[in-house]
Chains A and B, each alone.
Chain A
Amino acid sequence: MTPDVLPALREFLDENWGRALRRSLSPTEPLVSSGIIDSFGLVDLSLFVEERFGVRVDASDVGQGRADTAVQIAQVIEARRR
C-alpha cells in the first residue's frame, strides 16, 4: 500500500508526539481529532512531509473527517507523489 512513506511518517510521529505519550503511535489511531497533534503541530507535520516527500499536505488535508491517522496521511502523500 504505502511501503516507504508509512514507516518514515510513523518514525517522525513517534519522535515528535509518541515520545510525550511514552509509547509508539498506532498507524490507525486518530491523531488530530484525539488531540495528540494540535494546529501548531500540523505545521511541523506539513514541513516534514514537504521536505521528505516533496509534496504539500496541510491543514485542509489533515484532521477530523479528513486524513486523521498515520495510514490515511500516508495515503494522501502517496496519491500526491504519483
Chain B
Amino acid sequence: MTTILGRVLDIAGRDPDRLFAHVWDARREVEPVTYGSYVRLAAGVAERLRREGLAPGEVAVIILKSGSLLMAAWLAPQLLGAIPTIFPWPTEKLDRGYYARTVASLLKISGAAVLMTSRDLVDTVAPLAAEAPALRCILALDDARPAESLPEIPRALREDAEAIAILQHSSGSTGLQKGVALSSRAVMNQIENYGKVMPARPDDRIANWLPLYHDGGLVPGFLQPLLRGVPLSILSPIDWVHDPVLLLEAITRDRVTHCWQPNFAYNFLATKIPDSKLEGIDLSSVRVLVNMAEPVRLSSHELFLRRFGPYGIRPLALQTLYGMAENTAAATQSDPSRPVTLDVVDRAALSEERRALPPRPGGVALSMLSSGAPIPGTEIVILGEGYERLPERRVGEIALRSDCMLTEYFHRPDLTARAFHEGWYLSGDFGYLAGGELFVTGRKKDLIIVAGKNVYPQDLEFIADGIPGVHPGRSVAFGVENERTGTEDVVVLVEPEPGADEAAVAERVRAAVAHGSDVVARDVRVVPPMWLVKTSSGKISRTRCREKYLDDSGK
C-alpha cells in the first residue's frame, strides 16, 4: 500500500503544477501553492532536518502559525521516515510559563528529537531543552527555502504503510496528554473509505479554517484535499475567529463546495457577521457542510439555514459526522444525498430507561439528529455496562472496530490496552443505533468540549486547587450546554478555605483558568463548604455536581 508521503510525491511528480491550496490571509491576499512547490518546500525543510540527524522513527514537533510553511514542515519529517506532530501556537491570553510547561510535557511524552518553530517563539521554548532529554535541536524555520527539485526517497518510505506515520496530540496538562499514533495504512483507509460516502466531482473544493493540530482540521480539512487532489482554501483559525466573514469570502471567491466545522461554528457564523459585510457573498457553490467534533444540534442547523439560505445554502448541504482522532477522524457520516435523519424520542425514556422510544402521551419529545451510518471499514456496536452488546434503540457506550484505527497511544501501552475491550475501541461516548444510523446522546467520560476543543476537567480542577483560598481538593469543573452559542460553557465550582474572601477567590480562579488552559470559564462560583457532591467512593462526582448546579440555577 502507498504511504501518505508516497501518495503526495506521486501527485507532485505527475502533475507538479496542480493546485494544492490557496492560503488566505487576513487581508484577503491569496498565496497559491502547487503540489510541486509544496513538496519542494518540504524537501528544503527536510534538508535541514537531515543535517540535524533526524532519524527514521524519531518524532519532530512543529509549532508554527497557520500557512504554507506549517503544511510543508508537517511533510518534511516524513521524507526522512520520521514522524511529525503539530502542537498549537500559544494564544495571547495563555501564560507563557504555563505554555512552556505543556510543550515540555509534550516533548517528553513524545520523545521528540527536533522542534521546528519560528524565531518569535524560540525564546519561549529554548529553556525546555533541559527538560526533554531526547530533544537535540530547536530549528527556527523562518528562512526555509524550497529545494531545487522534487526529492528522491527510498522505496520503503513510499510503500511501508504499517509504520507509524503521524501523531495527533490531544491537549491537556496534568499527565493527560497522549499522542494518537496513526500508520499510513490507517490514514489512507480513512481517506479512501470516507471518499466512498462523499463522492467526488471534478469541481470539488474544500475550505478549512480549523487548526491542523485538531483531528478535524488535520484529516478532513488538510489530508483529505492533499491526498485526493482536491484544491484546498485554507485560512488561519485566528483570522477566522477575529473575522468570520473571511470564510464566506473564501467560499465565494474560490467556489468552495465542502467544509467541515464544529457545531458552534454554525451559531458563530450565523450571529457574528453584520449584514453590511455580506454584500457580494454567494454560497451557492456549497454542496456539503459537515458538522462534527462536538454534539450536533438541530437548532444550530436551523439558525444557519435561516441566516444563509438567502445566500445560497441549501438545506441538503447540512450534514453530520461522528468521529475521533483514534479512528483517524470520521467513524460515521450522514448520507449527503438526503437530509440528515431526525429521530423524535421520548425524553424521559431516553434519560431514565436509556431507550430511544417514540414520545409517550404527555411526555416531552426530543429531536435527535443522526450522525449517519458507519463509514465503510468501520463497525460500530453499542455496549452495556457489562460490555454486552445492546440491540438497536438501547443507549450504551459507543464502541468501534475499523481499518483506520490508531496503532497505539504513542509510548503508552497502558493507555492503549485500557482503550480497548476485546478488540473494540471504547469511545467514552453514549449513543444508540437506529436503522443502522448512530445517534450520540452524551458522554460517559468527564470531558468538556468547548467549540470543538476537548478540555479535561481534571486540568481545570488542578488549576483551581492551586489558588490560595480554595480548599484543596474541593473544586470541580464541568460543561453546561449553551443553546445560544451551540457549544458548552465551562463552569468551575470551588469550596473556600475558612475566612477566605470569596469574591477575590472566584476572580483568581477565573484568571488562573484563563491563563493556564485553552478556555475561559463562563461561570466561577464559590459554593458553601460541603456543597460539592461526592460518590460513594469519596471522589467528587462531576456529574452530580453538575446536576445540582443546574437545579440551583433553575435549569
Interface residues of A (CB under 8 A from B): 20-21, 23, 32-36, 38-40, 42-44, 47, 50-51, 58-60, 63-64
CA gap between A42 and B268 in the complex, in Å:
12
User: Which residues of B lie under 8 Å from residue A43 when comparing CB positions?
Assistant: 241-242, 244, 268, 272
Q: How far is the CB of B319 from chain A (nearest CB, A)?
A: 24
Report A66 CB to chain B, min CB distance, Å: 10
9 pairs, CB–CB < 8 Å, chain A vs chain B: A20-B522, A20-B523, A21-B510, A23-B503, A32-B93, A35-B513, A38-B93, A38-B519, A38-B520
Given the complex of chains A and B, what is the CA–CA distance between A38 and B514 in angstroms? 9
- Is the CB–CB distance between A40 and B241 below 8 Å? yes
Question: Residues of B with Cβ closer than 8 Å to A?
Answer: 91-93, 238, 241-244, 268, 272, 274, 451, 485, 503, 506, 510-511, 513-515, 519-523
B242 touches A59 (CB 8 A): yes
Contact between B510 and A35 (Cβ–Cβ < 8 Å)? Answer: yes
How far does the alpha carbon of A38 sit from the alpha carbon of B515 in the complex, in Å?
A: 11
In the bound complex, do residue B511 and residue A34 qualify as a contact, i.e. CB atoms below 8 Å apart? Answer: yes
Known: A43-B241, A58-B243, A63-B92. A36 touches B274 (CB 8 A): no
Q: What are the nearest 6 A-B pairs in CB distance?
A: A35-B514, A59-B242, A38-B520, A35-B520, A43-B272, A39-B241
Taken together as a complex, chains A and B put the C-alpha atoms of A44 and B274 apart, in Å, by: 11
The binding surface of chain A is classed by DSSP as loop
Contact flag A64-B93 (CB < 8 Å), given A39-B241, A43-B241: yes
Contacts of B510 in A (CB 8 A): 21, 34-36
Chain B CB count within 10 A is highest, among A21, A38, A60, for A38
- A51 / chain B contacts, CB cutoff of 8 Å: 274
CA separation between A63 and B241, bound complex, in Å? 14
Q: Are A39 and B523 in contact (CB under 8 A)?
A: no
A42 near B93 with CB under 8 A, answer: no
In contact, B242 and A58 (Cβ under 8 angstroms): yes
Cα distance, A64 to B244, chains bound together (Å): 22
A-B contact count (CB 8 A): 53
Give Cα distance in the complex from A63 to B91, angstroms: 11
Known: A36-B520, A43-B272. A64 touches B242 (CB 8 A): no
Q: Name 17 extra pairs, CB < 8 A, besides A43-B272, A47-B272.
A: A20-B522, A20-B523, A21-B510, A34-B514, A35-B93, A35-B510, A35-B520, A38-B514, A38-B519, A38-B520, A40-B268, A40-B485, A42-B242, A50-B274, A59-B242, A63-B92, A64-B93
Give the residue name and chain of the A residue nearest to B268 (CB). Answer: A40
Given A34-B514, A35-B513, A47-B272: A40 and B451 interface contact (C-beta under 8 Å): yes
State whether A47 and B241 are in contact (beta carbons under 8 Å apart), knowing that A34-B510, A36-B520 are contacts in the complex.
no
A56 vs chain B, min Cβ distance (A)? 10
Complex CA gap A44/B272 in Å reads 7
B272 pairs with A33, CB closer than 8 A: no
- Are B511 and A64 in touch, CB under 8 angstroms? no
Complex partner residue of A64 from B92, B521, B522, CB under 8 angstroms: B92
Contacts of A60 in B (CB 8 A): 242
Closest A residue by C-beta to B515: A35
- CB-CB < 8 A to A20: which residues of B? 522-523
A57-B232 Cα distance, complex, nearest whole Å: 30
Q: For A32, what are the chain B residues with a Cβ–Cβ distance below 8 Å? A: 92-93
Q: Chain A residues near B521 (CB, 8 Å)?
A: 35
| Bound complex: CA A21 to CA B506 (Å) | 9
Q: What CA separation (Å) do A21 and B519 show in the bound complex?
A: 16
Q: Which residue, of B91, B93, B238, B274, has the highest number of chain A Cβ atoms within 10 A?
A: B93
Chain A residue contacts of B93, Cβ below 8 A: 32-33, 35, 38, 64
Residues of chain A with a CB closer than 8 A to B515's CB = 35
Contact assessment for A35 and B91 in the assembled complex, using a CB-CB cutoff below 8 Å: no
Q: Please, how many angstroms separate the alpha-carbon atoms of A23 and B506 in the complex?
A: 12
Q: How far is the CB of A39 from chain B (nearest CB, A)?
A: 5
State A40–B452 Cα separation when bound (angstroms).
Answer: 13
**In the complex the two chains form, is A39's CB within 8 Å of B503's CB?**
no
Query: B523 — which chain A residues lie within 8 A by C-beta?
Result: 20
**CB nearest to B244 among chain A residues:** A43
Q: How far is the CB of A4 from chain B (nearest CB, A)?
A: 22
Please give me the residue from chain A that is nearest to B506 by CB atom. A21
Tell me the complex Cα distance, A32–B510, Å.
12
CA distance A34 to B506 in the complex (A): 12
Given contacts A20-B523, A59-B242, contact A39 B514 (CB under 8 A): no
Q: How far is the CA of A28 from the CA of B79 in the complex (A)?
A: 53
Please, which residues of chain A bring their CB within 8 A of the CB of B272? 43-44, 47
> In the assembled complex, how far is the CB of residue A64 from the closest CB belonging to chain B, in whole angstroms?
6
A39:B91 contact, CB within 8 angstroms: yes
Specify which chain A residues have a CB less than 8 angstroms from the CB of B522 in the assembled complex.
20
Chain B residue contacts of A36, Cβ below 8 A = 510, 514, 520
Chain B residues whose C-beta falls within 8 Å of the C-beta of A38 in the assembled complex: 93, 514, 519-520
In angstroms, how far is the closest chain A Cβ from the Cβ of B321?
23
Q: How far is the CA of A50 from the CA of B242 in the complex (A)?
A: 14
Complex formed: what's the CA distance from A60 to B27 in Å?
13
User: Closest CB-CB distance, B5 to chain A, in whole Å?
Assistant: 35
A64 to B93, CA, bound (A): 7
Provide the bound-state CA to CA distance between A20 and B482, in Å.
13
Tell me the minimal C-beta distance from B517 to chain A in angstroms: 9
* Min distance, Cβ A42 to any Cβ of chain B, angstroms: 7
User: How far does the alpha carbon of A40 sit from the alpha carbon of B513 in the complex, in Å?
Assistant: 16
Residues of A within 8 A of B241 (CB): 39-40, 43, 59
- Which residues of A lie under 8 Å from residue B511 when comparing CB positions? 34-35
C-alpha spacing A42/B242, complex, angstroms: 7
Chain A min CB distance to B262 (Å): 12
* B residues in contact with A58, CB < 8 Å: 242-243
